[in-house]
Structure 1
Amino acid sequence: MNRTKKLRFPVLQIILFALGASFSACNSNKNAKEETKSVAKDTISTLTDDGAWCWFSDPRAIYYSEDKIVTGWVKKDGSIETASLNIETGEKEFENINPKMEVDDHDNPGFAVLSNGNIITMYAWHSTKKGVISNTTTNGSDVHSFDENVVFKPVTDELLENFPRETYTYANPYVLKAEDSNLFSFGRWIGYKPNLIISGDNGKTWDQQYVVVSNEPFDPNNRPYAKYYSNGDSKIHMIYTNGHPRNEEFNSVYYCYYENGAFWKADGTKICTLSELPFDVEDGSLVYQASTETGRAWIADVVEKNGVPYILYSRHPEETDHRYHYAWYNSGSQNWEDVELCKAGKWFPQTQEGEVEREPHYMGNMTFNPQNPNDVYLSREVNDIFEIEKYSTNDQGKTWDITPITKNSEYDNVRPYVPRYLPESAKTVVLWMENKKYIHYTNYDTSIKYTIED
């Protein structure tokens, strides 16, 4: 690792510990307080010592039941591996469903439980014309029962004529019970834009294909980034940006949701129906308008609880200064309440000596507890190492309690994730990547760690 290390001050740390204080680097939220307790190291376990994931193919982990989660990742050799974890017994099962597909962490699978109880996983190569891949179990949550991979191209002649760029990346599958348990999947496909396809037969065929967001005139090099969330009932929530923060000086954050054949703003105003797609980037609800002073943005997570959407995103006033933000929609004032959680440091890729960092906006990242958006799990730089912390609020983000989950780590801990479809009575599992090496999304040596909260 060539990251420059800062000098440590053990004497000062001892004094602070004796005074009952805890040392926390660059926390910009004046209303945050760090708890002296932290998660014991013996409660942190390794799910795999060879796995990586991006944060734009989700849900990358799901609860199948109260005591079982299913997840997946990309191995160092490019294999796509799925896994299950029994929360109560610790039993782990693994299945390599696509050996040596491609060394690229963008290819991690997303998961959904179909109406028949089986699991479908969907994923894609990174920016190729090869297509999207699906694979379905034949025996519920048994990862050993994943069937053959099915490669398909979610494209029509009309779409390609109107949006002439074909390149497939990411897949985000969701099932909506309110719509006959139809399967919806989002990805960056035709036009280099967020796309949506819909299946009425559990992914065997796809009879509807759409480009969701695209500016006019069409720009084949512009690529809005999107994150999605659904509890599986009637809505799919979506946050998105103008494009990549490396390319868009004023990369901002927008929100909308899909329900009943249409897309809607946060206040319930209809944007358009499926037949009227795509809509313009600025047609969604503006969450954050980027500026030269406050910086361009990127997105981390979105969930919804009791009708209220919650959003996590980052601002980058400087490439070495990533700021984490928490926002929720206040239906009374019809405004987004937005607070800065903390300064998170810089990018986590290990820039090689003499090289310019290729991904300066790769933040440590954040995730919600989907059952309780008052709990946020984030990765930020502490003493030159990225650590996982839990931020909790009881007053809608005005004040925060902080509990360290990792501390004094040897390796960076990044991209935390709480599996979706968390049952109310289940224990909360928090997963994240531990980076022995992460130089680039095609050059990594990473593990998947986890802890279980009672």
Structure 2
Amino acid sequence: MTAAISDNGGWCWFQDERALVDATTGTLLVGAVASRGGAGGDRRGGDVDLHVVDLDRLGEAGAATTVTLHPGLESDDHDNPALWRRADGRWLTVFSRHKSDDLTRWRISEGEDPTVWGPEQSFDWRTLFETPEQAEALGGGRGVTYQNLHQLDGVLHCFVRAINDDPCYLVSHDDGGTWQFGGRLLTREKVGYVNGYARYASGARFGTDDRIDLIITEHHPRDYATSIWHGYLAGGRLHRADGTAVGELGRGLTDPTLRAEDLTPVLGNGSAAGGATLTHAWTTDLRRFADGTLVALMTARADDTAGTSTARHAWDAPTHEVDPIDHRFVRAVLRPGSGRWEVAELAEAGPQLFPHEEDYTGLATIDPDDPHALWISTVVDPRTGATLAHHEIFHGVTRDAGASWTWTPVTEDSTADNMRPIAVPGDPSRSVLVWYRGSLNTSQDYDAEVVVQVRPR
């Protein structure tokens, strides 16, 4: 069954979980941000929404309810909320603006009903500094972006791009009721826009919370010839893939901090794959499975000639526009006990979505209950290589450890683009896929509806 649940919504891909299923009640929660360029955008633009869906009634009138967590926060898909199911059955949602203030905001449901929420609270990252001069010297006051919720040794962590635009984190010892600064995870000198783009994964769904894995770039791929690196948090330390500890966690604002290059390489800039040279890699998705297997999805430019420039033009300046760039999806697997990632090109992603963002693609998502399955959004049919009129979504399955793939179309002959799919965790008995369908002009201006597909496994 496939149905639209909202006529205005979108999301970025650096927050998790962006959607969750309560298997007991058959309820889907999907976070989204309404755009000023979408339906009713003059009154809904910037609403941080939570769509609550009765999956057993999908497609029926009244099956979906929209709760606005924060009206008019900002018309920007980077403001999408992250979700967490607390031990007491209540829901937690955490969100922020896109570098335009320094607040991490959160709300907790009143009881287990995800349509009724308590008041908004916030953590102000500016309170970490004693003076404005210290904040400026250490890279504070530049705004925060992205929230990712994961548990480690019974402590809830919220990873945020914050001080100096580095990956930092808050910790909560009461399952999201209150938050304190936990530390700066990595840092480096600024190049261009911001520092590393991270995706995180943990095993809490499988009853383990002994480690949190991450993959990360050095900077934004439009500003730097990025590679992707991997490490994990466990036992109070940050480790490489082979288990080598490279530093302590809990680093303060003035403590020396590791760089991405201190971790394990996953996809190096200049790697060869599929007969092409891959550069400007970007993190897309990361999942950890019950046996400890890690699967990562990434994108990269193939045989790129555009290069990088930190002298950014205005987004609408014609002098900034570049020719279409060939992008590829890349899949990597880290098997239990191994310290080396197995990396292979997966499929063609097609050119950038719009000229002023050289590395935006339709994206891909890993099946949270099957390491051998995934979905991609692309304008190049992975079965034939034919160019499609719009981004379509394909389901891919491998039975030979990624050597070959069987592709099945989820959408076909569409009249609009289908982008940024999310394979939703929570109910292993059925496959729940969410994406948005429409047009994307910028991260602040889009006209798209939120679509859900549910299938039994």
In structure 2, relative to structure 1, the CA distance for the partners of 1:162 and 1:271 (3 Å cut) is farther
Aligned to 2:93: 121
Aligned to 2:12: 54
Q: After superposition, what is the alpha-carbon deviation per residue over 1:13-51, rounded to whole angstroms, capped at 9, x for unaligned?
A: xxxxxxxxxxxxxxxxxxxxxxxxxxxxxx321121111
Q: CA deviation at 1:150?
A: 1.3
Q: CA deviation at 1:300?
A: 0.6
Aligned to 2:28: 69
Aligned to 2:160: 187
Q: 1:89 aligns with which of 57, 80, 86?
A: 57
In structure 2, relative to structure 1, the CA distance for the partners of 1:100 and 1:339 (3 Å cut) is same
Moved more, 44-53 or 403-412: 44-53
In structure 2, relative to structure 1, the CA distance for the partners of 1:210 and 1:332 (3 Å cut) is closer
Q: How does 1:416-435 map to 2 (within 5 A)?
A: 416-420=421-425, 422-424=426-428, 426-435=429-438
Q: 1:204 aligns with which of 170, 173, 177?
A: 177
Q: After superposition, what is the alpha-carbon deviation per residue over 1:163-210, rounded to whole angstroms, capped at 9, x for unaligned?
A: 32332111112234xx23x22101111111111110112333223331
Q: CA deviation at 1:428?
A: 1.1
In 1, Cα distance between the equivalents of 2:18 and 2:165? 22
**Quick check: 1:47–1:448 contact (8 Å CA) kept in 2?**
yes
Q: How does 1:359-398 map to 2 (within 5 A)?
A: 359-382=357-380, 383-398=388-403
Aligned to 1:35: none
**Equivalent position SS for 1:373:** coil
In 1, Cα distance between the equivalents of 2:338 and 2:372? 20
**Quick check: 1:106–1:125 contact (8 Å CA) kept in 2?**
yes
Q: 1:324 aligns with which of 312, 326, 329?
A: 329
Q: How does 1:338-353 map to 2 (within 5 A)?
A: 338-349=343-354
**Quick check: 1:154–1:197 contact (8 Å CA) kept in 2?**
no
Identity percentage of aligned residues: 27
1:252 aligns with 2:224: no
1:112 aligns with 2:114: no
Report which structure shows greater RCO (CA 8 Å, sep ≥6): 1
In structure 2, relative to structure 1, the CA distance for the partners of 1:431 and 1:124 (3 Å cut) is same
Aligned to 2:299: 314
* Structure 2 runs not aligned, ≥5 long: 36-44, 272-276, 305-323, 381-387
In 2, Cα distance between the equivalents of 1:243 and 1:269? 24
1:237 aligns with 2:213: yes
Q: After superposition, what is the alpha-carbon deviation per residue over 1:413-447, rounded to whole angstroms, capped at 9, x for unaligned?
A: 01000123x343x2110111112x21111111111
In 2, Cα distance between the equivalents of 1:334 and 1:441? 36
Q: 1:337 aligns with which of 335, 342, 349?
A: 342
Q: How does 1:3-82 map to 2 (within 5 A)?
A: 43-66=1-24, 67-76=26-35, 77-82=45-50
Amino acid at match of 2:158: S
In 2, Cα distance between the equivalents of 1:126 and 1:230? 25
Aligned to 1:175: 151
Q: After superposition, what is the alpha-carbon deviation per residue over 1:220-241, rounded to whole angstroms, capped at 9, x for unaligned?
A: 9541111112232312221110
In structure 2, relative to structure 1, the CA distance for the partners of 1:201 and 1:332 (3 Å cut) is closer
**What CA RMSD, in Å, does the superposition of the two structures yield over aligned residues?**
2.0
TM-score computed with the length of structure 1 as normaliser: 0.83
Moved more, 323-332 or 116-125: 323-332
* Structure 1 runs not aligned, ≥5 long: 1-42, 350-356
TM-score computed with the length of structure 2 as normaliser: 0.82
**Equivalent position SS for 1:325:** strand
Aligned to 2:268: 289
Q: 1:226 aligns with which of 198, 201, 220?
A: 198
In structure 2, relative to structure 1, the CA distance for the partners of 1:273 and 1:345 (3 Å cut) is same
In structure 2, relative to structure 1, the CA distance for the partners of 1:300 and 1:71 (3 Å cut) is same
Amino acid at match of 2:421: P
**Quick check: 2:242–2:338 contact (8 Å CA) kept in 1?**
no
**Quick check: 1:416–1:430 contact (8 Å CA) kept in 2?**
yes
**Equivalent position SS for 1:191:** helix
**Equivalent position SS for 1:209:** strand
Q: After superposition, what is the alpha-carbon deviation per residue over 1:375-412, rounded to whole angstroms, capped at 9, x for unaligned?
A: 11110114231000011011110111101000110000
**Quick check: 2:241–2:340 contact (8 Å CA) kept in 1?**
no
In 2, Cα distance between the equivalents of 1:163 and 1:104? 27
In 2, Cα distance between the equivalents of 1:251 and 1:97? 35
Moved more, 127-136 or 393-402: 127-136
Q: 1:438 aligns with which of 437, 440, 449?
A: 440
**Quick check: 1:112–1:175 contact (8 Å CA) kept in 2?**
no
**Quick check: 2:149–2:157 contact (8 Å CA) kept in 1?**
yes
In 2, Cα distance between the equivalents of 1:58 and 1:332? 26
In 1, Cα distance between the equivalents of 2:47 and 2:3? 22
**Equivalent position SS for 1:307:** coil
**Equivalent position SS for 2:250:** helix
In 2, Cα distance between the equivalents of 1:220 and 1:342? 29
